[in-house]
Amino acid sequence: MAMRRGIAVSPGVAIGTAYVIHEIFVNPDTKRLEDSQITAELANYETARDKAGADLRALERKVEAQVGREEASIFAVHQAILRDAAFTNKIRSWIVDDKMNSSAALHRLLGEYTTLFARTNDEYLQERLNDVRDVIIRLGSHLNDAAKPETGSIVGPLIVVADELLPSQVVALGDMDVHGIVTQKGSQTSHAAIVARSRGIPAVSGVSGIARKVKTGDTIVVDGRDGHIEINPNSETLKAFKKLEREFFDLKDKLATNRDQPSLTADGCELRLQGNINGVADANAACAMGASGVGLYRTEYLYLTHPSVPDEDEQYEAYRAIVAASPNHNVTIRTLDIGGDKTVAYLGHDHKEANPFMGWRSIRLSFEHPEFFNTQIRAIVRAASEFPEGTVRLMFPMVTTVEEIRKLRSMVRRAYKTLNSRGIKTKEVPIGMMLEVPAAAVSISTMIDLVDFVSVGSNDLVQYLMAADRDNPKVAHLCQPLAPPVLIVLKNVIEVCNRANVPITVCGEMAGTPRAFVLLLGMGLRRFSMSPAFIPSIKQLASQISVEESERIVAAVMKFKTTAQVKKFVARLIERIAPDLKMLSTE
């Protein structure tokens, strides 16, 4: 039995069979080829090379048409690497002379290039290593198409174990019976964490070396409450965790029965509990959990999982499907929020920044590619116009200044004009801003008249206010949503919006956290958007606390000077009000 600790990112307890998703070359097959296999292996490599070349040519054409020639040039570079004689000859010689399979040869080549480029501090050459790596991984993905592990022989519910869970890997998991997720990399706001919470799956991230320690078929326990896992536990430990797992599922089942009940506080104040989603599956989950709508649809996952760049019609169909699947056809669609920890090759691939979270990202990047951005706006407006009985809102991320809002409104007007000139009927779409930049929070009173609604992105707002990268373990202790400075800023923003009668929602992860929910309620917030799986527990908590009581809690908390005081005080109160919900909280 082995125990490993990581970061608790999605609460609950799960037991299952490990299913290890290795990065393409984590453990390449080193078995030597038979002489009779060499010709077939050369043919396999050439087939993969042809497919990779076709991918890159198609990408170059599509990106050039939709984004620009300069942005498409990265794929021309990748084609040149793929055609490079030295690159190809090394692979062929290792297959023939050393009897290596293609994947092992590619892994060896990547190692050689990594060693070579590690000797230089030249940023340009280091970027070229990234290009070589991209080409090798693309080749490897085609080589491994026929060799992907099947799960049919794995018995029982699955615990997915990976280096990090990428959007494309999530799509590949499909309808597998996943009960838990463990990753080597990641944080509370990583893609794996967001996916796990949206589906109510216990998850632990930041478990160093786990993908090498665990093998597919092992029994594994995931405790998403305090962030630890057990590998092949003994019978006594397994029995104890099975009891906890049953309690977790029983509580989830019990809470799920409130899906058709109204979202009311103990004294009858009506709340809007909405879901944060990445795709149609999450929209269906929001319906199943009793959400009143979708408070945040993250459109970047459409781009991250698309094989190239989605055009207007493809985006329109995707957004239309989202609205159709969402509760009451009520959806807030956020425009592309690429940058920081999420990138695509044709937008900013070659643009290295010392601090990407505070640099060229979100609408800043969108402004630099206006036609690309306009395409998305038109697709959203078209989808919204298909549902006259619903409410589709258009939200822009990382708004910092009044000038940006005015520019965004001008771009939306241009989209209407273009669509109307094509004979496409449109309807007015409310325009809002995601408040996550401290400058916008401080000057919200100057912006409030220019927007129809405000959504607080607490994840980024907290890290920017505290000047602490939320993914950096050295400073992660500073990224606390319940820190007094954060609470002061949030209370002011909520009060300004309420006085102006402008709807305000918190759609960051803190909206679905019991301790933060109670404080936001007491500050005057009535709209919350969270991972769909959290809606039943927050609805239950809301029914057990009055607005007056939450206001008294806020009044007391605003006098505290430390985060520890706030957390301890509110946790003690919630344990008294709703003791059952402890199982659904992370430490």
Active site residue 497: no
- Classify 161 as helix, strand or coil: strand
- Classify 178 as helix, strand or coil: strand
Distance CA 489, CA 497 (A): 13
DSSP-H helix ranges across 340-483 = 362-368, 370-385, 402-421, 438-442, 444-447, 458-466
Is 395 exposed, middle or buried (CB count within 10 Å of its CB: 0-12, 13-18, 19+)?
buried
Distance CA 586, CA 204 (A): 10
Backbone torsions φ then ψ of 276, nearest 5 degrees: -95, 130
Q: Please name which of 332, 342, 432, 440 lies closest in space to residue 380, comparing C-alpha atoms.
A: 332
DSSP 251-277: HHHHHHTTTTS--B-TT--B-EEEEEE
Cα 396 to Cα 139, 431, 496, 500: the distances in Å are 36, 8, 20, 20
**Contact 301/277 with Cβ under 8 angstroms?**
no
Amino acid letter for position 97: D
**Contact 433/405 with Cβ under 8 angstroms?**
yes
Is 428 exposed, middle or buried (CB count within 10 Å of its CB: 0-12, 13-18, 19+)?
exposed
Active-site entry in 107, 191, 329, 349: 191
Q: How many CA atoms lie within 13 A of 43 on its CB side?
A: 5
**Contact 203/222 with Cβ under 8 angstroms?**
yes
> Which runs of E-coded beta strand occur in 6-73?
7-10, 13-21
Sort strands 431-435 and 453-456 into parallel, antiparallel or unpaired: parallel
Q: Please name which of 400, 396, 401, 456 lies closest in space to residue 432, comparing C-alpha atoms.
A: 396
Active-site entry in 287, 479, 497, 507: 507
Active site residue 351: no
Backbone torsions φ then ψ of 565, nearest 5 degrees: -65, -45
Amino acid letter for position 278: N
Sort strands 2-5 and 228-231 into parallel, antiparallel or unpaired: antiparallel
Cα 575 to Cα 523, 547, 579, 583: the distances in Å are 20, 18, 4, 11
Amino acid letter for position 211: A
Distance CA 83, CA 5 (A): 45
**Contact 300/348 with Cβ under 8 angstroms?**
no
DSSP-H helix ranges across 257-391 = 280-288, 300-305, 312-325, 362-368, 370-385
Residue 519 CB coordination number (10 Å): 23
Catalytic residues: 191, 507
